[in-house]
Structure 1
Amino acid sequence: MKRPTAKIREEITRLQEQLKQAETRDAERIGRIALRAGVGEIEVEEADLLSAFEEVAGRFRAGTKLVQGHKPATTPPNGAGEAAGQSSET
């Protein structure tokens, strides 16, 4: 049985709201970390800062860089990560 287009649109709207909330949580988390690191006090062009963040993201995606004794960060093949603030490590 086919789903009516109205139901599909409702689901899309619901998923878009969930995505917006998830992006907001991620932005707040990353923003707090950046502020703790002192990024907010640096006079830098947004393009330069974006480039630096892309480099950092690339290092962590590669999963080869150790940071202060922590295990390398890796991204699962499907791109799904753990929920913010949760870790499988004990």
Structure 2
Amino acid sequence: MKKPSAKIRDEIAKLQEQLKLAETREAERIGRIALKAGVGEIEIDEAELQAAFEEVAKRFHGGQGGGKSATTGGKKGAGDSSGQASAAADAPGAGAGSAGEA
């Protein structure tokens, strides 16, 4: 039995809200960790910081962290909250790497 389009739209809306809440929780969690690591005190261009976060993410995802990464979020370029979650998720490693450079 096929679902009516209105019901599918309602399900999509609910899923989008769940996604938004999940991204907010992730960003807040990782943001707290980043602040504890001192990332908030680093004076660095946002694009550079995101690139550093992406390198750390590659390291933890099993990729090569030493390579040059794009400063745009790739799949995550759709909105600010996804970028925040991405950046925040990698903040502890990026903070440690940036502290070593300072």
Matched residue pairs, number?
65
TM-score, normalised to structure 2, is: 0.60
Q: Report the structure number with the largest CA radius of gyration.
A: 1
Correspondence 1:44 to 2:44:
yes
Please give the alpha-carbon distance, in whole angstroms, between the structure 1 residues aligned to 2:2 and 2:38: 53
TM-score, normalised to structure 1, is: 0.68
Please give the alpha-carbon distance, in whole angstroms, between the structure 2 residues aligned to 1:2 and 1:47: 45
Please give the alpha-carbon distance, in whole angstroms, between the structure 2 residues aligned to 1:4 and 1:38: 51
Q: Which has the higher contact order (CA 8 A, sep 6+)?
A: 2
Please give the alpha-carbon distance, in whole angstroms, between the structure 2 residues aligned to 1:24 and 1:50: 18
Q: Which runs of 5+ in 2 are unaligned?
A: 64-102
Correspondence 1:19 to 2:22:
no
Please give the alpha-carbon distance, in whole angstroms, between the structure 1 residues aligned to 2:48 and 2:35: 17
After superposition, the CA RMSD in angstroms is 1.8
Q: Which runs of 5+ in 1 are unaligned?
A: 64-90
Which residue identity does 1:31 align to in structure 2?
Answer: G
The Cα offsets for residues 57-89 of structure 1, whole Å up to 9 and x where unpaired, read as 0000008xxxxxxxxxxxxxxxxxxxxxxxxxx
Structure 1 residue ranges (4+ consecutive) displaced by more than 3 angstroms after TM superposition: none
Identity percentage over the alignment? 75
